[in-house]
Amino acid sequence: MTDAQGHGRTGVANDGAGSTTRKLLGVALSVAALWAAPAAAQVPTPEAVLGFRPGADSMLASWAQITDYLGRLAAASPRVRLDTVGPTTQGRPYLLATISDPANLARRAALMEAQARLADPRTLDSAAEARLVATQPAVILISCSIHSTEIAASQMALELAHRLATDSALGAALRHVVVLLVPSANPDGIDIVGDWYRRTRGTPYDGTSPPWLYHAYVGHDNNRDWYMLTQVETRHLTRVLYRQWFPEVVYDIHQMGGGGARLFLPPFADPVNPNLDGMLVEAINHVGTAMATALADAGRGGVAHQAQFDLWWHGGNRSAPVRHNMIGILSEAASTRIASPVQLRPDQVRQSARGVNFPLPWAGGWWRLRDIVEYELIASEALVRLAANERAEFVRRFVRAGRNAIEAGRTGSPRAYLIPPGQRDEGARTQLANVLLATGVEVSRARARFTADGRAYPAGTFVIALDQPFRTHVKDLFERQAYPERREYPGGPLLRPYDVTGWTLPLTMGVAVDSVRTPVSADLERLDTAVLAPGSISGRGDVVLLANRSNAEGTAAWRALAAGGTVTFAPEPFEAGGSRWPTGTLVVRGARAVLARAAAELGFDAVAVARAPAAAEAPVVRRVPRVALYRSWNASMDEGWTRWVLERLGVPFTSVADSAVRAGGLRQRFDVVILPGENPAQIRSGRAPGFAPPEYTGGLGEPGAQALRDFLTEGGTVIALDEASLFAIGDLAAPATVVVGGRAPGVRGASQFSAPGSIFEVSVDRSHPVASGMDSVAAIYFVSSPVLDAAPGGRAIASYRREGSPLLSGFVYGADTLSGRAALVEAPVGRGRAILFAFSPQHRGQTNGTFKLLTNAILYGAAQAARSVPGR
Ligand SMILES: [Zn+2]
């Protein structure tokens, strides 16, 4: 049932950290060796190894030091085992410390197997259940510092591990509890933030955040990835959670702003997602208040409940577990300036009035990293004691939640989801099945054709029956969300959700999924992994026609260009190879062998012909487009996601900073410049002076805007994503009218329109090359995005309907604002053009259904650019 075998026990630090870290580590290790030598048989304290107490002012343990300390602890303590789950994005070890009574560690494999049975009550008869309720320890997972500027927990983890290893009362509790301690869910970030902190410590920039993302691709959005699993760190912990250990409790430790409450703990705020088991919501409240009581007992005030963090959203490290019948909680401590202390006068503390959700206001004063460490230690130890004292209840509740889910799937609606083959993007269909499988969901494949709800389905259809333990996870990903309209008071302003309001994966991924009301009877095989069927090229000739339905075909076109082929968008429909091909068909010449390999590997079919109807005026892409991706010092997550998506699609690009844009001469170097989603003020001004050394402050400014205007005038293409389209309109003179967004006079404000993370339907003008391969309607991701109208001379490529609401999932207020407006616009500027995306085509790497609009826009820009530069 589990695949934990093969995890090596880690030795002493070796983490692939940068050279600065290595130098610091060298010092730390030699000091530690001296200190540790006389007491080798003793369990070392963090202070003895690090040379400072965790949480000491201005001091941060690097990942190498964290790895080193936990390795020494595991070597010295029979209660601690340390595993490397796998490498991080930058090659550091992703660590998992398993801490329990030595007798429990000795039967670790049996405990894991029993947890898997508890997670799936279908495997338990009443005798087996009674035996496990009587004997199985509770399993709790504590995850630290997924957000790396929220760094206290990664330091606290060392002291928690030491206390669990050495304290006698905690040792007694560990007979009944297994603690899975993840010292950081983003190890790379501990060094990215720690290196920046050490570099700026004692300078005017002491305590600032680094001017780049603290995860190579996704920064803070690493905690928005727990169902899509795009990043390796997410996949590592997901495997531990839903394939190996199945803990009853997942505790995710965060920090928030520094001016208010000292620590947020559950109960969470409304609304509660309708799919959540109310019993688990009560258990979340129970754990949160137990932690808060322990803090109050220890004389620690300033704990707040029911603020800001709601139970609606899916996608966080505390929200995906609840959809797996686990108690998912977080805490959010008030931040210091990284490791530097802050002082707040009583009048500077912005906290709620005293009440049931805030019974012990904080008096103000100094607030140090050590304070956060102590709050988090008290909360963590309270959880260990609670799980020990109520072990049987935790175990029994986990089984009961699984039974509830199975019963709801057996009696409720729908009974199953079906994902038939033959989709526009088979790669997306396969990926959807695989992200479910990775989160422990059961997915089967039909061996033969069958009928369900009166409809015929072919062999190869994926079947997800909902009478399974992790039903809530699937249902919440597959159904359409209906976020309630909530206001501060009747008639008052709208309350914003904690994160987005809708996330329906079949819509964002562009995969057709049917829900069925009756049980499915078919010849099924359970899948471990969904495998993409290889595709091929039929027909004779060297001209290959790509319908461009899948993202894989776009990737294949890039490979063809790299191999010396050419690509054209068919400017009108044509007949070839016995079928009719629509406008926008990709006509690829001179790369058949490359395309044949791509078809086999990426799973698409294509047709080759000897010659396609020539369209003399159709622009041709003759080499790999030269793409610049703008990267500001604001550490833009949208930039990181864009980079991640382009890399996955095989689109080469060059990242350009402000200075490279301001230097001008862009047209000589690039065909296309992409501006990721940032608002105009951020793009213009960048990072404010005083928040980083001068080389990392400032934005494009007027020189950068002028350079981009010159680029457009000379035939270049600017692709502006989401709010960056307002910059293109306001600063680059791209002609379009702003209906919602920015601060221009006449635009609609928040009192008239709101859609903070929703999926909308648009109609697509398929006669435009940017819409190549799209259907006539598309689901787009809208996150408080702009709403536009094409101006004279411009063209709307995607538009909202004129009648009724375009909402597919999530929330919209003032839907009439969208009526007939444009979501995607080509706006000509000089000999060039801006492609204005008034939505997020690559949102958090989840919107496979609209990735193509981005890659088409790049190809289109390159094709047009070829016209405007002689000799290309
Ligand atoms: Zn956080």
Instruction: Please choose, from the candidates 162, 161, 164, 108, the residue with its C-alpha nearest in 3D space to the C-alpha of residue 136.
Output: 108
| Residue 41 CA to ligand 1 centre (angstroms) | 38
| Residue 252 CA to ligand 1 centre (angstroms) | 9
| Residue 333 CA to ligand 1 centre (angstroms) | 9
- Collapsed DSSP state (helix, strand, coil) of residue 809: strand
| Residue 45 CA to ligand 1 centre (angstroms) | 28
Q: What integer is the mean pLDDT of 429-443?
A: 98
- Collapsed DSSP state (helix, strand, coil) of residue 738: strand
What is the enclosing helix (H) or strand (E) of 757?
Answer: strand 756-764
| Residue 90 CA to ligand 1 centre (angstroms) | 21
| Residue 221 CA to ligand 1 centre (angstroms) | 9
| 345 CB burial (10 A radius; 0-12, 13-18, 19+) | exposed
- CA dist 713 and 308 (Å) reads 46
| Residue 687 CA to ligand 1 centre (angstroms) | 21
Opening angle at CA 712, ends 708 and 715, nearest 5: 140
| Residue 392 CA to ligand 1 centre (angstroms) | 31
Q: Per-residue pLDDT tens for 282-327?
A: 999 999 999 999 999 999 999 999 999 999 999 999 999 999 999 9
Per-residue pLDDT at 10 exceeds 90? no
| 493 CB burial (10 A radius; 0-12, 13-18, 19+) | exposed
Q: Where are the beta strands (DSSP E) in 284-377?
A: 303-304, 310-311, 327-334, 342-344, 365-367
| Residue 151 CA to ligand 1 centre (angstroms) | 10
729: Cβ contacts below 8 Å, ≥ 6 apart? 735, 736, 738, 788, 827, 834, 836
Residue in this structure with the two tokens 């797996």, named with its chain if needed = 324
Residue 414: is the preceding peptide bond cis (ω within 30°)? yes
What are the distances in angstroms from CA 446 to CA 413, 519, 869?
21, 14, 54
Q: What integer is the mean pLDDT of 699-715?
A: 98
| Residue 332 CA to ligand 1 centre (angstroms) | 7
| Residue 310 CA to ligand 1 centre (angstroms) | 14
| Residue 315 CA to ligand 1 centre (angstroms) | 13
Q: Per-residue pLDDT tens for 817-843?
A: 999 999 999 999 999 999 999 999 999
| Residue 147 CA to ligand 1 centre (angstroms) | 5
Q: Per-residue pLDDT tens for 87-120?
A: 999 999 999 999 999 999 999 999 999 999 999 9
- CA dist 359 and 356 (Å) reads 5
> Could you tell me which residue, 749 or 806, shows the higher pLDDT?
806
Instruction: Please choose, from the candidates 797, 826, 834, 615, the residue with its C-alpha nearest in 3D space to the C-alpha of residue 715.
Output: 834
| Residue 477 CA to ligand 1 centre (angstroms) | 23
Residue ranges in 695-789 assigned as alpha helix (H): 701-713, 724-731
Instruction: Please choose, from the candidates 304, 429, 427, the residue with its C-alpha nearest in 3D space to the C-alpha of residue 375.
Output: 304
Q: What integer is the mean pLDDT of 35-41?
A: 41
| Residue 84 CA to ligand 1 centre (angstroms) | 23
| Residue 316 CA to ligand 1 centre (angstroms) | 10
Tokens (6 digits) for 66: 């964290």
Q: Identify how many contiguous H helices and E strands the chain contains and give both numbers.
A: 25, 39
What is the enclosing helix (H) or strand (E) of 740?
Answer: strand 736-740
| Residue 185 CA to ligand 1 centre (angstroms) | 11
| Residue 302 CA to ligand 1 centre (angstroms) | 18
Do residues 463 and 792 lie in contact, with contact meaning Cβ atoms separated by under 8 Å?
Answer: no
| Residue 187 CA to ligand 1 centre (angstroms) | 14
Count of Cβ atoms closer than 10 Å to residue 134 Cβ = 10
| Residue 761 CA to ligand 1 centre (angstroms) | 32
| Residue 638 CA to ligand 1 centre (angstroms) | 17
- CA dist 371 and 686 (Å) reads 33
- Collapsed DSSP state (helix, strand, coil) of residue 411: helix
| Residue 360 CA to ligand 1 centre (angstroms) | 23
613: pLDDT confidence band, cut at 50, 70 and 90?
Answer: confident
280: Cβ contacts below 8 Å, ≥ 6 apart? 322, 325, 326, 327, 397, 401
| Residue 698 CA to ligand 1 centre (angstroms) | 26
- CA dist 50 and 156 (Å) reads 13
Mapping DSSP onto H, E and C, the string for 564-581 reads CCEEEECCCCEEECCEEE
| Residue 554 CA to ligand 1 centre (angstroms) | 36
Pairing of β 416-419 and β 777-783 = unpaired
- CA dist 454 and 269 (Å) reads 43
| Residue 255 CA to ligand 1 centre (angstroms) | 5
| Residue 728 CA to ligand 1 centre (angstroms) | 32
| Residue 555 CA to ligand 1 centre (angstroms) | 35
| 188 CB burial (10 A radius; 0-12, 13-18, 19+) | buried
What is the enclosing helix (H) or strand (E) of 516?
Answer: strand 514-516
Strand partners, 837: 721, 824
Q: What integer is the mean pLDDT of 615-625?
A: 87
Pairing of β 627-630 and β 514-516 = unpaired
Per-residue pLDDT at 534 exceeds 80? yes
Amino acid at 803: E
Q: What integer is the mean pLDDT of 578-586?
A: 94
- Could you tell me the sign of the dihedral formed by the alpha carbons of 169, 171, 176, 177, in that order? positive
- CA dist 861 and 770 (Å) reads 9
753: Cβ contacts below 8 Å, ≥ 6 apart? 740, 787, 812, 813, 814, 817
Per-residue pLDDT at 22 exceeds 50? no
What b-and-e string marks burial along 155-178, b requiring 16 or more CB atoms within 10 Å of the CB?
bbbbbbbbbbbbeeebbebbebbb
Q: What are phi and psi of 55, to 5 degrees?
A: 95, 0
Amino acid at 689: P
Q: What integer is the mean pLDDT of 520-537?
A: 97
- CA dist 813 and 496 (Å) reads 12
| Residue 184 CA to ligand 1 centre (angstroms) | 12
Alpha-carbon torsion, ordered 715, 721, 726, 732, to 10 deg: -20
- CA dist 839 and 508 (Å) reads 12
- CA dist 199 and 220 (Å) reads 21
| Residue 404 CA to ligand 1 centre (angstroms) | 31
| Residue 525 CA to ligand 1 centre (angstroms) | 40
What b-and-e string marks burial along 301-323, b requiring 16 or more CB atoms within 10 Å of the CB?
bbbbbbbebbbbbbbbbbbbbbb
Q: What integer is the mean pLDDT of 698-718?
A: 98
| Residue 220 CA to ligand 1 centre (angstroms) | 7
Question: To the nearest whole percent, how much of the chain has pLDDT over 90?
Answer: 92
Q: Per-residue pLDDT tens for 751-799?
A: 899 999 999 999 999 999 999 999 999 999 999 999 999 999 999 999 9
Q: What integer is the mean pLDDT of 386-393?
A: 98
Q: What is the pTM assigned to this prediction? A: 0.94
Residue in this structure with the two tokens 């989801």, named with its chain if needed = 417
Per-residue pLDDT at 1 exceeds 90? no
Tokens (6 digits) for 233: 């760190």
DSSP 18: -
What are the distances in angstroms from CA 870 to CA 318, 397, 668, 671?
56, 72, 12, 13
- CA dist 531 and 483 (Å) reads 35
| Residue 148 CA to ligand 1 centre (angstroms) | 8
What is the enclosing helix (H) or strand (E) of 594?
Answer: helix 592-602
Amino acid at 678: E
Q: Per-residue pLDDT tens for 841-852?
A: 999 999 999 999
Instruction: Please choose, from the candidates 196, 235, 189, 179, the residue with its C-alpha nearest in 3D space to the C-alpha of residue 66.
Output: 189
868: pLDDT confidence band, cut at 50, 70 and 90?
Answer: low
Residue in this structure with the two tokens 């940068």, named with its chain if needed = 18
236: Cβ contacts below 8 Å, ≥ 6 apart? 85, 86, 94
158: Cβ contacts below 8 Å, ≥ 6 apart? 46, 50, 54, 61, 66, 69, 70, 183
Q: State the average pLDDT for the chain.
A: 94
| 47 CB burial (10 A radius; 0-12, 13-18, 19+) | middle
Mapping DSSP onto H, E and C, the string for 601-651 reads HHCCCEEEECCCCCCCCCCEECCCCCEEEECCCCCCHHHHHHHHHHHHHCC
| Residue 222 CA to ligand 1 centre (angstroms) | 10
| Residue 344 CA to ligand 1 centre (angstroms) | 22
| 348 CB burial (10 A radius; 0-12, 13-18, 19+) | exposed
Q: What integer is the mean pLDDT of 202-211?
A: 97
Per-residue pLDDT at 2 exceeds 90? no
**For position 577, what pLDDT does the model report?**
85
| Residue 563 CA to ligand 1 centre (angstroms) | 44
Q: What integer is the mean pLDDT of 810-822?
A: 97
Per-residue pLDDT at 402 exceeds 80? yes
Mapping DSSP onto H, E and C, the string for 453-466 reads CCEEECCCCEEEEC
Strand partners, 487: 494
Tokens (6 digits) for 344: 């707040």
| Residue 190 CA to ligand 1 centre (angstroms) | 13
